């Protein structure tokens, strides 16, 4: 058992970190914002956590928190301009934000060390802490989803006109979603920095964004189990197909296509709506 | 000097437009963000290269690239987009399934090319340089500009002056009404995706000739710039995309030439962001980017 755990510890850690980014993406989608800014916010959080510790001399866990706060602030700052756009346009504008963060990161060599990335970050984040945080995060997201905020998000997402007519301010609640998503992205960016010794500017680029988005859409965009399942599938399956080596990317692509074609709402949401339908049908039969 | 840079920008911008046109066509007509377009572009470059390496003349390479790109694009539509239509979740689903398709295409290309950066053999295209008014223009640049112009003209003619073009525009306006009027939507899907892929294929060969570097990841930066171009010109507007491509090419070359090349990306994406906030419908677009949206 111990041996098994030790062998797969890196995968587990990777999965737990990915889960954080998946939730950061999930919250904004939940509120009906098609933003993919998580990658940029994670970069801001990760870099500020690492640099404030290495160059600013602040204690690591303070800088991780500062990174989370910065991520949240940038998230809120993004919410206002993005509220003017809808759907695909939001996605493209937030993609532009990610690219701006990435290229400024490469340009500001004096501060961020440019293309070399940040080295020599102490490793302070271990599996137990990540497990604890993930459990907390899932609980928090579950409460958000179940109570008032989640219902408001659902209304805004399903039909904005109805939400507005009920006195719900779209921009207000989307700003809240951005703040939550930004804090999570910043926090997990910082955790990544203090977990992997090293930060690389390209790490938070287009691929990162695609991964975070696919975790959520593959798993399900409505339920809290969605991102958990999506992350688990996309982290574990490529690991199982490790023997096929160079065909891993191919396998990843095939999984994405097959799942989304057969379960367009995502694995968890399709299952949940299927089981609800079945329950209703059996109730009707009983009557 | 500045005129030389503007000219270079115009030529590169023309090819960027060709690539972005295929992307805009699919978005404008079917409201699908086809993220596998970069993969089709790369496949076109590969096909053109392999055709030339097999000893075929270059023009045949272009034909092979256009046909191959078109068919691949039709295949993507058939495998990745058509099954999603029934579910009504196209907006998110199409993004993920086209990312999946792109990954598949890229990893096959990586396997075939063994991760090498390839180039057309020297003098595939005659190296002739013209000079006039103190400007330097190569024959290749002229050819690229003319090719881009010609293909755009053909596309415009096709869309606005032929029966199938009218059907395509009908589906773009209102797919349901078009079907009621007897338009076969599958036929229209086939045509637009084929055109889009063919344009990408030709653009791939042109870029391969101009930059002399053909590799399995060459589509990614172009896909990202296609976003910028389409937003500049207005999503889905054909003329807008052409002008957007030219503007993009000029901004790109000018900022590389006169500012730091490290800042180019920041400038371009900053511009995109500002553009989206101030004029989300682009320079020529009509559709409402900020309209209230209802999801079923």
Largest CA distance in chain A: 73
Q: Of B80, B103, B276, which has the smallest distance from its Cβ to A89's Cβ?
A: B276
Cα A109–Cα A111–Cα A117 angle in degrees, nearest 5: 60
Q: Which pLDDT score, from 0 to 100, does residue A244 have?
A: 67
pLDDT score recorded for residue B10? 85
Tens digits of per-residue pLDDT, B223-281? 888 888 888 877 767 788 888 888 888 888 888 878 776 778 888 888 888 888 787 77
Residue in B92, B265, B290 nearest the CB of A86: B290
**Per DSSP, what are the bridge partners of residue A199?**
A118
Query: What residues are paired with B132 via a beta bridge?
Result: B135
The helix/strand/coil state of B209 is helix
Distance CA A134, CA B186 (A): 46
DSSP string, B82-146: HHHHTTT-HHHHHHHHHHHHHHHHHHHHHHHHTT--B-PPTTSS---EEEETTEEEEHHHHHHHH
Q: Say yes or no for a CB contact (<8 Å) between A255 and B100.
A: yes
Cα–Cα distance measured from residue A178 to residue A96, given in angstroms and rounded to the nearest whole number: 16
Query: Exposed, middle or buried: residue A117 (CB in 10 Å: 0-12, 13-18, 19+)?
Result: middle
Q: What chain A residue is nearest to B34 in terms of C-alpha separation?
A: A88
Among the listed residues B29, B11, B42, B25, the one whose alpha carbon sits nearest the alpha carbon of residue B223: B42
Closest residue by Cα to residue A181 from A47, A95, A36, A75: A75
* Residues counted in chain B: 296
Residue of A nearest to B295 (CA): A158
* pLDDT top residue among B80 and B45: B45
Q: Would you put residue B211 in left (φ > 0), alpha (ψ -120 to 50) or beta?
A: alpha
Interface contact A103-B263, CB threshold 8 A: yes
Q: Which residues on adjacent β-strands are paired with residue B130?
A: B137
List, in sequence order, every beta strand (DSSP E) within chain B: 129-132, 135-138
Which residue matches tokens 């919410």?
A79
Given 3-state DSSP classes, what are the helix, strand and coil percentages for chain B, each rounded to the nearest 5?
75, 5, 20
pLDDT band at B295 (very low <50, low <70, confident <90, very high): very low
| Positive or negative torsion for Cα B73, B74, B75, B78 | positive
Per-residue confidence (pLDDT) for residue A43, from 0 to 100 = 92
What mean pLDDT value characterizes chain B?
Answer: 82
**Three-state SS for A18?**
helix
Low-confidence ranges of chain A (pLDDT < 70): 1, 242-246
A264 to B84: CB separation less than 8 angstroms, yes or no: yes
pTM to 2 decimal places: 0.85
Vertex A177 angle, CA A175 and A181, to 5°: 115
The tens digit of pLDDT for each residue in B6-55 reads 888 888 888 888 888 888 888 888 878 888 999 999 999 999 888 888 88
Encode pLDDT of A73-120 as tens digits.
Answer: 999 999 888 887 777 788 888 888 998 888 888 887 777 787 777 877
Q: Does B256 touch chain A (CB under 8 A)?
A: no
Q: Is B291 helix (H, G, I), strand (E, B) or coil?
A: coil
**Mean pLDDT score, B185-194:** 88
Would you call B179 an interface residue with chain A, using a CB distance cutoff of 8 Å?
Answer: no
Q: Phi-psi region for residue B236, left (φ > 0), alpha (ψ -120 to 50) or beta?
A: left
Q: How confident is the model at residue B289 (pLDDT cuts 50, 70, 90)?
A: very low
Burial B103-132, CB ≥16 within 10 A → b, else e: bbbbbbbbeebeeeebebeeebbeeeeeee
Asked whether the beta carbons of B23 and B196 are under 8 A apart, the reply is yes
Which positions in chain B touch A262 (Cβ < 8 Å)?
Answer: 83
Mean pLDDT within B152-174: 85
């Amino acid at each position: 058992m111990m041996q098994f755990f030790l062998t797969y510890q890196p995968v587990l850690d990777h999965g737990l970190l990915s889960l954080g980014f998946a939730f950061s993406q999930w919250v904004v989608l939940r509120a009906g914002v098609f933003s993919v800014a998580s990658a940029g916010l994670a970069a801001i959080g990760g870099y500020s956590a690492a640099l404030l510790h290495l160059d600013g001399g602040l204690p690591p866990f303070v800088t991780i928190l500062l990174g989370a706060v910065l991520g949240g602030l940038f998230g809120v700052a993004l919410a206002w301009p993005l509220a003017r756009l809808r759907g695909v346009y939001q996605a493209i504008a937030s993609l532009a934000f990610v690219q701006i963060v990435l290229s400024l990161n490469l340009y500001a060599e004096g501060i961020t060390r440019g293309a070399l990335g940040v080295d020599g970050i102490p490793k302070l984040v271990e599996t137990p802490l990540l497990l604890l945080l993930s459990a907390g995060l899932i609980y928090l997201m579950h409460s958000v989803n179940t109570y008032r905020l989640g219902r408001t998000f659902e209304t805004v997402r399903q039909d904005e006109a109805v939400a507005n007519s009920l006195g719900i301010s779209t921009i207000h609640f989307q700003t809240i979603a951005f703040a939550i998503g930004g804090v999570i992205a910043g926090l997990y960016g910082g955790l990544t920095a203090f977990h992997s010794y090293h930060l690389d500017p390209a790490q938070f680029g287009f691929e990162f964004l695609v991964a975070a988005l696919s975790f959520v859409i593959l798993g399900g965009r409505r339920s809290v189990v969605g991102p958990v399942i999506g992350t688990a599938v996309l982290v574990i399956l490529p690991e199982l197909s490790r023997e096929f080596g160079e065909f891993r990317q191919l396998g990843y692509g095939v999984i994405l296509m097959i799942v989304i074609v057969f379960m367009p709402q995502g694995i968890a949401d399709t299952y949940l709506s299927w089981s609800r339908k079945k329950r209703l049908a059996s109730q009707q039969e009983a009557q | 000097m500045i005129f030389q840079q503007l000219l270079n920008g115009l030529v590169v911008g023309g090819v960027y437009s060709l690539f972005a046109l295929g992307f805009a066509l699919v978005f404008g007509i079917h409201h699908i963000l086809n993220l596998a377009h970069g993969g089709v572009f790369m496949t076109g470059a590969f096909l053109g290269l392999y055709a030339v390496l097999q000893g075929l003349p270059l023009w045949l390479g272009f034909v092979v690239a256009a046909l191959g790109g078109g068919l691949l694009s039709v295949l993507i539509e058939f495998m990745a987009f058509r099954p999603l239509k029934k579910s009504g979740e196209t907006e998110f689903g199409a993004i993920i399934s086209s990312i999946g398709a792109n990954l598949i295409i890229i990893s096959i290309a990586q396997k075939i090319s063994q991760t090498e950066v390839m180039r057309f053999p020297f003098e595939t295209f005659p190296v002739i340089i013209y000079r006039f008014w103190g400007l330097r223009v190569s024959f290749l640049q002229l050819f690229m500009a003319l090719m881009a112009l010609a293909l755009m003209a053909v596309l415009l003619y096709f869309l606005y002056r032929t029966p199938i073009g009218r059907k395509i525009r009908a589906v773009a306006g209102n797919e349901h009404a078009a079907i009621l009027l007897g338009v076969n939507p599958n036929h229209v899907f086939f045509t637009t995706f084929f055109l889009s892929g063919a344009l990408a294929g030709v653009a791939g060969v042109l870029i391969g000739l101009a930059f002399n570097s053909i590799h399995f990841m060459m589509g990614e930066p172009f896909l990202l710039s296609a976003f910028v171009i389409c937003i500049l010109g207005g999503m889905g507007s054909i003329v807008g995309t052409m002008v957007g491509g030219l503007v993009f090419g000029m901004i790109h070359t000018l900022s590389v030439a006169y500012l730091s090349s490290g800042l180019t990306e920041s400038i371009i994406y900053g511009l995109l962001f500002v553009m989206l906030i101030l004029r989300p419908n682009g320079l020529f677009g009509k559709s409402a980017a900020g309209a209230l949206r209802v999801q079923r």
